[in-house]
Amino acid sequence: MDTQHFFNDCMAQAERIMHAAHALNGHDDHGTCVLGAGIEVNGTVRIKQVSQGNMSAYAAAEPAIEFLRKNGINARWCDGRMD
């Protein structure tokens, strides 16, 4: 499998993980309303937040970020900006 294909597959799986985590949390929307938050890879937000509430969005993103890091992708959470 080539590097780009592997990266794209990992990003797609991370997005599924994040949406599943958000569903397990009851699709909650806690925290401050923010815009532009999401999982950042190489300085660009690649997977957008699942809710406007920053606490809920981050909680859903944590398992996806862990998955990406375990697969050698340098991912981090981007807080976005308050709305």
Q: pLDDT (tens digit, 9 = 90+) per residue, 3-48?
A: 999 999 999 999 999 999 999 988 888 888 888 899 999 888 889 9
Mean pLDDT of 48-70: 93
Residue 72 predicted with pLDDT over 90: yes
How high is the pLDDT of residue 30? 87
CA distance 45 to 57: 13
CA distance 48 to 16: 12
The structure's pTM equals 0.90
What count of other Cβ atoms lies within 10 Å of the Cβ of residue 54? 21
How high is the pLDDT of residue 53? 87
What count of other Cβ atoms lies within 10 Å of the Cβ of residue 9? 12
Residue 81 predicted with pLDDT over 90: no
Range of the domain at 62: 3-82
Tokens of 70: 């375990």
Q: How many domains does the chain have?
A: 1
How high is the pLDDT of residue 11? 96
45 beta partners: 40
